[in-house]
Amino acid sequence: MQDGSGPRQASSDGLTTLKDRLAREITGEVLFDSFNRGRYATDASFYQIMPAGVVVPKTVEEALRALAICRDQGRIVTPRGGGTSQCGQTVNDGIVIDFSKHLNRIISLDVGNRTCVVEPGIVLDDLNRQLKPRGLWFPVDVSTASRATIGGMAGNNSCGGRSLRYGTMRDNTIAMDAALANGARLHFGEVPRDLANLNLNDTGRNLFRDMLALGEREAVEIAERFPKVQRRVGGYNLDALVPRNAANNMAHLLVGSEGTLAFTTQVELKLWPLIRNKVQGVCHFGSFYEAMDAAQHLVKLRPIAVELVDRTMIALGRDIAMFRPVIDATVRGDPDALLIVEFAEEDQTDNLQKLKLLSELMADLGFGWNNPQRKWGGVVDVVEPATQTAISDFRTSGLNVMMSMKQQGKPVSFVEDCAVPLPHLADYTKRLGAIFAKHGTSGTMYAHASEGCLHVRPVLNLRLEKDVKAMRAIAEETFEMVREYKGSHSGEHGDGLVRSEFHEAMFGARITGDFREVKHRFDPENLLNPGKIVDPPKMDDRELFRYRPDYRVAELNTRLEWSAYPGSGGGFQGAVEMCNNNGACRKLEGGVMCPSYRATRNEKDVTRGRANTLRLAISGQLGPDALSSDEMMDTLKLCVSCKACRHECPTGVDMAKMKIEVLAARAKKHGLSLRDRLVGYLPHYAALASRLAPLANWRNRSPLLRALFERFAGISAKRVLPEFRRDVFTSDADSVGPADGREVVLFADTFNRAYERENLDAALRVLVEGGYRVHLPKPADSGRPLCCGRTFLSAGLVDNARAELDRLVKTYAPFAARGVPIVGLEPSCLLTLRDELLSLRSDDTAKNISAHALLFEEFLVREAEAGRLALPLGPIAEKALVHGHCHQKSFGAFKPVEKILRLVPDLKVETIESSCCGMAGAFGYGAETYDTSMQMAELSLLPAVRRADAAALIVADGTSCRHQIKDGAGRGALHVARVLAMSLDSPRNLPSPSSHAKEPAHG
């Protein structure tokens, strides 16, 4: 990576010295093992460079201490935020310093002047969450707002979708405090051109003087060679140095410098009032070319954004259930392209006026709904906020839709964000399409039409030399075309390894020489993130690729079905490689993914870190047997198998399923721990334990036994285990309820049967009162009760799980064949039939069982919506506070819980915005995972429960969730079935002289 001009890299002895010294002098994490280094070897680009080590400093002083130690030892350093760069900015072979975990505070906030000072590791969404109550926000709204840090955004000079109004990161940065490679700390802000009277140390004065002199010297060349488009983030911002005004802002030189000039220690930001009113006009076009041509006219109405959605995206969106409604509501006819024009004036009347002007403008441009294909079009007004959000979500999901392709060829980011002046946009897109076609590929175009900056990724397989060649040719031809239009080859995502090589072609040799001069003046030893912006390697150097020419995955012995994906292990390889490092799993709020990261903020404990580790392991980059190693177990230790990633990761990385493979490999190689046996074999011994309940529960009452269980079985002494009972749920009859009632099978899972029969009793009661004929079939083999095999899966005992499921399938098959729904109460058990069952069996009988498996609430809502549910429900409480089980959320099965509870008269249903409860099966009982389990629960669930009124019902369908709530907040939580049963028993429903049973509630 380094050229001769950089510091010499230390020998392995030197590395040990470096590591020891860092570990001695830094209290934050110092990570030098291959697993941890591997997790920092990639970002959202297609590159991979193994760093020598990683430091996660606890304070700014520690970060600078690490920098000084690396300098002493001759090691290069790369600062890093969320690691979401698309161009390889954060990968290098020295020491990576991760600012995101600890350096994330707002240092000061000045509401009156609308400014704040923040540490560089703060995440944009987190900042905006804290600003919102003050009526302010930081408006550089990058798509990665949930994980991009302000330090990283400044490093890349990031731009949001609304940059038309708010500008780029540079436009919103007032000042930066930073440390040079030699450790000198400087304040970079606005300075007069005459520095004589400025209070500045010599280092700063000399540096700024030289920079301003360079700006003056090169002013003509800069004016000539720097593209005039707003979206120009390539190279160093030399234009900030030219003598335009009396003052220059030196921070603007640091913005966009990609960690190559200095370590940012704090950033002063300009804040804006929150947007209060907004409308959107969805402009329709019969031809893509006409849409692109219209953009230059639409911006004259001063919208805050004009975003493109093309025909391919509309078609893909129509196939996705969550997008279909908004497309149906807002898309008219069969457009070739849409431009979503957004207005945000202070007053809503002005916004509505703008919509009127937009329609008039479209008509003036010759578009009409009754025209033929050519000049067909018009505007659909969207005023309702929820629909606006739905359209915006659809637009911003463009990349996700594209990236979810399961083949080895993927949409590749390298010409993704070129920007051209708007008058050329139509020609540019036409010629770009021709370039792609010439090289045998294609790509969807979407995003920032208002800035002439369209996102476009041709589909290529970078494991193939021919596709790498095509990539280079496309890059060269595209950049040449962009230059012709006086556009910018780097319009949003920065330079990194992808773009820096082309600076000379785009800016000319003289400006590139200036870039080198700046770098040398700041960092003469080439210590800070070398190889970016100046002296880069070739962008198509395959040795730097994630999939290098020697990348191989040996044949893997996998246990589950992965055939939807390509590659080894029946497709397991392809599933692992789906992670493109976009970092969505690092979000800190909203949804569920990834609860363990939210608790620890460690790269190791996020879906991305786990997927990267798996990829490196299966491709032999972490040594032999890495898949079943202790380090791999440590990597997956805090994965609670919540399945949130399966649903929320844009590419559908399913870590819970992958974890089963790893556990199976581990169990095969190393056998099972006592705890795994106790958990896994629960269905086998539950009946006996129930008969011996007092004895089996003795552990909970004896401090000594608790201690011994912790010592020998790894079960935390702090936990009360669920109690066995003698009166487990059983039924002598195979069926109950009216003989002519609609049929349903009730699946009595092991947990509810053994520990909480009240839930099954309640469900049975509700179903029977609802007029259903409920089947409780005995196992076809007349053996012990049925089970879904979940506990075996959590221990990696795949064959045992399969055996359990085989019994279940055999028993339920005749019912499923007749179309009888199979209803269960415990989300993790019932949803095993919809998920893992199909990974273990692909026969039609299993598929049929899976297709008929419904959660209790799903079934009732379906019945209610079909007008078939008649339950005499009465009021029971004013409020219910509901916590959704992760698996319910992952399978889109949570809404029915809210819906069914709303059938209870007078009950206000409120959902707790919670991620995983932290108990997650056996996870929360582990001695070594207890603390993390409680941390997860304390993020939002337990505080919300504690705040709840004593009279409110706490509702949670998951056995583990109820236990966690009891353990952590001391409150009992109810399964929905029990809430409904209580409602049936409501006093208002009891016959009395004056009133009869309440009218049945019809859904």
Residues that bind ligand SF4 (CB under 6 A): 579-585, 593-596, 607-608, 610-611, 639-645, 649-651, 653, 655-656
Q: Read off the DSSP letter of residue 584.
A: G
* Partner from ligand SF4, ligand FAD, none contacting 84, C-beta within 5 to 8 A by type: ligand FAD
CB-nearer residue toward ligand FAD: 251 or 944: 251
Separation CA 610–CA 607 (nearest Å):
5
123: helix, strand or coil: strand
* Partner from ligand FAD, ligand SF4, none contacting 152, C-beta within 5 to 8 A by type: ligand FAD
Q: What is the rounded radius of gyration, in angstroms, for the C-alpha atoms of the chain?
A: 30
Separation CA 948–CA 773 (nearest Å):
38
Q: Which residues are CB-contacts of 852 (< 8 A; sequence separation ≥ 6)?
A: 812, 815, 816, 819, 820, 821, 822
Q: Cβ 33 to ligand SF4, closest distance in Å?
A: 21
For residues 361 and 343, the answer to whether their CB atoms sit within 8 Å is no
Write the CA distances from 337 to 290, 332, 341, integer angstroms.
9, 11, 13
CB-nearer residue toward ligand SF4: 610 or 802: 610
Write the CA distances from 499 to 149, 206, 456, 519, integer angstroms.
22, 31, 15, 17
Separation CA 404–CA 649 (nearest Å):
10
* Partner from ligand SF4, ligand FAD, none contacting 399, C-beta within 5 to 8 A by type: ligand FAD
Q: Cβ 305 to ligand FAD, closest distance in Å?
A: 11
Which secondary-structure segment (H or E) carries 252? helix 251-254
**Beta strands in 127-220, from DSSP E residues, in sequence order:** 136-137, 173-179, 185-188, 190-192
CB-nearer residue toward ligand SF4: 534 or 593: 593
Q: Cβ 577 to ligand SF4, closest distance in Å?
A: 10
CB-nearer residue toward ligand SF4: 28 or 496: 496
For residues 343 and 356, the answer to whether their CB atoms sit within 8 Å is no
Q: Cβ 258 to ligand FAD, closest distance in Å?
A: 3
* Partner from ligand FAD, ligand SF4, none contacting 546, C-beta within 5 to 8 A by type: none
Q: Cβ 459 to ligand SF4, closest distance in Å?
A: 17
Q: Which residues are CB-contacts of 705 (< 8 A; sequence separation ≥ 6)?
A: 698, 699
* Partner from ligand FAD, ligand SF4, none contacting 643, C-beta within 5 to 8 A by type: ligand SF4
CB-nearer residue toward ligand SF4: 314 or 656: 656
* Partner from ligand SF4, ligand FAD, none contacting 285, C-beta within 5 to 8 A by type: none
Sign of CA dihedral 527, 533, 535, 541: positive
* Partner from ligand FAD, ligand SF4, none contacting 645, C-beta within 5 to 8 A by type: ligand SF4
Q: Cβ 952 to ligand SF4, closest distance in Å?
A: 28
- DSSP letters, 327-338, are HHHH--S--SEE
CB-nearer residue toward ligand FAD: 503 or 666: 503
Cis peptide before 594 (omega within 30 of 0): yes
CB-nearer residue toward ligand SF4: 392 or 582: 582
Q: Cβ 148 to ligand SF4, closest distance in Å?
A: 13
Q: Cβ 146 to ligand FAD, closest distance in Å?
A: 10
* Partner from ligand FAD, ligand SF4, none contacting 248, C-beta within 5 to 8 A by type: none
Helical axes 798-817 vs 844-852, angle rounded to 10°: 70
Torsion angle (degrees, nearest 10) of CA 161, 606, 541, 407: -80
CB-nearer residue toward ligand FAD: 650 or 874: 650
* Partner from ligand SF4, ligand FAD, none contacting 89, C-beta within 5 to 8 A by type: ligand FAD
Q: Which residues are CB-contacts of 764 (< 8 A; sequence separation ≥ 6)?
A: 731, 736, 746, 774
Separation CA 866–CA 555 (nearest Å):
50
Q: Which residue from 447, 433, 429, 439 is spatially nearest to 409, judged by alpha carbons?
A: 439
Q: Cβ 85 to ligand FAD, closest distance in Å?
A: 3
CB-nearer residue toward ligand SF4: 7 or 924: 924
For residues 80 and 532, the answer to whether their CB atoms sit within 8 Å is no
Q: Cβ 230 to ligand FAD, closest distance in Å?
A: 12
* Partner from ligand FAD, ligand SF4, none contacting 641, C-beta within 5 to 8 A by type: ligand SF4
* Partner from ligand SF4, ligand FAD, none contacting 640, C-beta within 5 to 8 A by type: ligand SF4
CB-nearer residue toward ligand FAD: 106 or 708: 106
Which secondary-structure segment (H or E) carries 910? strand 908-911
Q: Cβ 649 to ligand SF4, closest distance in Å?
A: 3
* Partner from ligand SF4, ligand FAD, none contacting 214, C-beta within 5 to 8 A by type: none
Separation CA 151–CA 44 (nearest Å):
17
For residues 560 and 657, the answer to whether their CB atoms sit within 8 Å is yes
* Partner from ligand SF4, ligand FAD, none contacting 572, C-beta within 5 to 8 A by type: none
* Partner from ligand SF4, ligand FAD, none contacting 644, C-beta within 5 to 8 A by type: ligand SF4
Phi, psi dihedral angles at 70 (to 5 degrees): -60, -40
Tokens of 357: 């002007």
CB-nearer residue toward ligand SF4: 162 or 643: 643
Q: Cβ 325 to ligand SF4, closest distance in Å?
A: 25
Write the CA distances from 662 to 292, 564, 658, 798, integer angstroms.
49, 19, 6, 11
708: helix, strand or coil: helix
CB-nearer residue toward ligand SF4: 579 or 849: 579
What letter represents residue 225's amino acid? R
Q: Which residue ranges make up the site for ligand FAD (CB under 6 A)?
A: 43-44, 78-86, 89-90, 99, 120, 142-144, 148-149, 151-153, 155-156, 158-159, 258-259, 263-264, 399, 492-494, 529, 582
Q: Cβ 937 to ligand SF4, closest distance in Å?
A: 14
* Partner from ligand FAD, ligand SF4, none contacting 530, C-beta within 5 to 8 A by type: none
CB-nearer residue toward ligand SF4: 39 or 852: 39
The size of the chain, in residues, is: 1003
Half-sphere exposure of residue 163: CA atoms within 13 angstroms, side-chain side:
28
CB-nearer residue toward ligand FAD: 87 or 919: 87
Q: Cβ 852 to ligand SF4, closest distance in Å?
A: 26
Q: Cβ 659 to ligand SF4, closest distance in Å?
A: 7
Q: Cβ 128 to ligand FAD, closest distance in Å?
A: 14
CB-nearer residue toward ligand SF4: 397 or 582: 582
CB-nearer residue toward ligand SF4: 322 or 674: 322
For residues 143 and 161, the answer to whether their CB atoms sit within 8 Å is yes
Tokens of 752: 């509810």
Separation CA 953–CA 975 (nearest Å):
10
* Partner from ligand SF4, ligand FAD, none contacting 611, C-beta within 5 to 8 A by type: ligand SF4
* Partner from ligand FAD, ligand SF4, none contacting 263, C-beta within 5 to 8 A by type: ligand FAD
CB-nearer residue toward ligand FAD: 144 or 249: 144
Q: Which residue from 493, 523, 322, 340 is spatially nearest to 414, judged by alpha carbons?
A: 493
Q: Cβ 86 to ligand FAD, closest distance in Å?
A: 5
